[in-house]
Amino acid sequence: LLNFNWNVLMSYRHKKLKEEDVVVCECKYGVNDPETACGERCLNVLTSTECTLGYCQSGENCRNQRFQKCEYAKTKLFRTSGRGWGILADENIKFIMEYCGEVLSSEVAKKRCLAYEAHKVKDAYIMSLNANFFIDATKKGSLARFINHSCQPNCETRKWIVLGETRVGIFAKRDISVGMELSYNYNFEWSGGAPVRCLCGAANCSLFLGAKSQGFKVT
């Protein structure tokens, strides 16, 4: 398995961001105070859009370029008891990391799923990026693929616009302290085949991943 802090483009190409499409940040909170630069009051932050270098009033003080600068939280990979690998928080965090992998078209993603199923690949990590593309982190991806599922998670996925394109990040839903295992709800769907048991241990556990349906498919 290869770890990446950026997406590997397969059937997808970056769009060149036109100047007229740049969301200009007029936030002036951080011009003289780096601690308040592009924080929770920043309009870009409120609309889940990263600031663009050269188009932000806070300049070098801007704190809303975490995807672009790979400003990920400190985490630790560890072996769980019966649930494979997992990720622990190594600091108090809000933004954990970007979910990276190979960006595939819907058609290619479906073919990948069939190939994984044919080869009995149990640990496949495919997440929807938008209506037409998916991120496959099965063989190439960030450490985010090791974050386990939970029916009562402390994290969630959020889609952000970065330089005009959609990116997926893992964010804390509530306070996460050092040593806590990170988790989010996979929202798996299954269409045929044996159901996969959920081992999260939460009080509201559904007992099976994708309990409403059965069999692997991209979601």
Q: CB of 101 within 8 A of CB of 125?
A: yes
Looking at residue 50, what is its pLDDT? 96
Looking at residue 213, what is its pLDDT? 34
Q: Which residues of the chain have pLDDT under 70?
A: 1-15, 29-31, 188-195, 210-219
The tokens for 95 are 């933004």
- In tens, the pLDDT along 70-91 reads 999 999 999 998 888 999 999 9
Q: CB of 151 within 8 A of CB of 198?
A: yes
Looking at residue 157, what is its pLDDT? 94
Looking at residue 34, what is its pLDDT? 79
Looking at residue 149, what is its pLDDT? 92
Closest CA to 202 of 126, 143, 150: 150
- In tens, the pLDDT along 181-195 reads 999 998 866 545 566
Looking at residue 217, what is its pLDDT? 40
Rounded CA-CA distance 16/189 in Å is 34
